[in-house]
Amino acid sequence: MDGIHDVGGRQGFGPIEVTDVDPPFPTDWEARAFGITKSVTAVSDYSVDKFRYTREQLPPLEYLTSPYFEQWMRGTMAMLVGSGLVSAEELATGCSNGSSPQGVGPAKTKEDAHAAATGSVRFDGPFNGAPAFASGDRVMISMSAPRGHTRLPQYVRGRSGTVIAYHGAHGVPEDNVKNVKTFEPLYTVAFALGDLFEEHQGSSDQINVEIWERFLAIAE
Amino acid sequence: MSYECQLASSKTRKRKSVMPSYDPENAAEIHDHVHSHIPSDPALRVKAMESLLVEKGLLTSEAVDVWVETYSEKVGPKVGAGIVARAWCDPDFKARLLEDGTAALKELEIEGWFLAHLKVVENTDAVHNLVVCTLCSCYPHGVLGLQPSWYKKEAYRSRAVRDPRLVLSEFGVDLPKDVQVKVWDSTAEVRYLVLPQRPTGTENWDEAALAALVTRNSMIGTDRDLSTTTSEG
Task: Calculate how close chain B gets to A156, using CA atoms only, in Å.
Answer: 11
Q: Are strands A216-218 and A138-141 parallel, antiparallel or unpaired?
A: antiparallel
What is the rounded distance in angstroms from the CA atom of residue A32 to the CA atom of residue B50? Answer: 8
Statement: residue B12 has pLDDT above 90: no
Find chain B residues with C-beta within 8 A of A20's C-beta.
215-217, 223
Q: What is the pLDDT of residue B17?
A: 59
> Strands across the sheet with B180-185, in order?
A216-218, A138-141, A160-171, A183-192, A206-212, B180-185, B127-132
Q: What is the pLDDT of residue B22?
A: 97
Active site residues of B: 133, 136-138
Looking at residue B9, what DSSP letter applies?
Answer: P
Q: Which residue of B has its CA nearest to A80?
A: B22
Q: What is the pLDDT of residue B16?
A: 53
Give the pLDDT band of residue B189 (cuts 50, 70, 90): very high
User: Comparing A60-69, A159-168, B4-13, B58-67, which segment has the lowest mean pLDDT?
Assistant: B4-13
Q: What is the pLDDT of residue B6?
A: 67
Q: What is the pLDDT of residue B122?
A: 98
Secondary structure class of B118 (helix, strand, coil) = strand
Instruction: Out of A28, A79, A92, name the one closest to residue B38 (CB).
Output: A92
Q: What is the pLDDT of residue B3?
A: 52
User: Comparing A31-45, B73-87, B170-184, B217-231, which segment has the lowest mean pLDDT?
Assistant: B217-231
Q: Are strands B180-185 and B127-132 parallel, antiparallel or unpaired?
A: parallel
Statement: residue B209 has pLDDT above 90: yes
Residue ranges in chain A modelled with pLDDT below 70? none
Give the pLDDT band of residue B231 (cuts 50, 70, 90): very low
Beta bridge partners of B20: none
For B77-104, what is each residue's pLDDT tens digit? Answer: 999 999 999 999 999 999 999 999 999 9
Task: Calculate how close chain A gets to B212, using CA atoms only, in Å.
Answer: 14
Task: Calculate how close chain A gets to B92, using CA atoms only, in Å.
Answer: 22
Q: Which residue of B has its CA nearest to A1?
A: B25
What is the rounded distance in angstroms from the CA atom of residue A2 to the CA atom of residue B204? Answer: 53
**What ipTM does the predicted assembly reach?**
0.97
| Beta carbons of B27 and A36 less than 8 Å apart | no
Q: What is the pLDDT of residue B5?
A: 77
- Tell which of B135, B181, B182, B226 to mutate to test the A interface (max A CBs under 10 Å): B135
Mean pLDDT of B145-165: 98
Distance linking the first and last C-alpha atoms of chain B: 38
Q: Are A10 and B158 in contact (CB under 8 A)?
A: yes
Q: What is the pLDDT of residue B19?
A: 87
What is the rounded distance in angstroms from the CA atom of residue A66 to the CA atom of residue A72? Answer: 10
What is the rounded distance in angstroms from the CA atom of residue A193 to the CA atom of residue B70? Answer: 38
Q: Rounded to the nearest 5°, which phi and psi values hold at A171?
A: -55, 135
Instruction: Out of B15, B154, B182, name the one closest to residue A102 (CB).
Output: B15
Give the pLDDT band of residue B4 (cuts 50, 70, 90): low
Q: What is the pLDDT of residue B230?
A: 57
Q: What is the pLDDT of residue B79?
A: 98
Give the pLDDT band of residue B1 (cuts 50, 70, 90): very low
Instruction: Out of A98, A117, A207, name the one closest to residue B11 (CB).
Output: A98
Q: What is the pLDDT of residue A87?
A: 97
Task: Calculate how close chain B gets to A164, using CA atoms only, in Å.
Answer: 12
Q: Rounded to the nearest 5°, which phi and psi values hold at B180?
A: -80, 135
Instruction: Out of A6, A50, A92, name the one closest to residue B24 (CB).
Output: A50
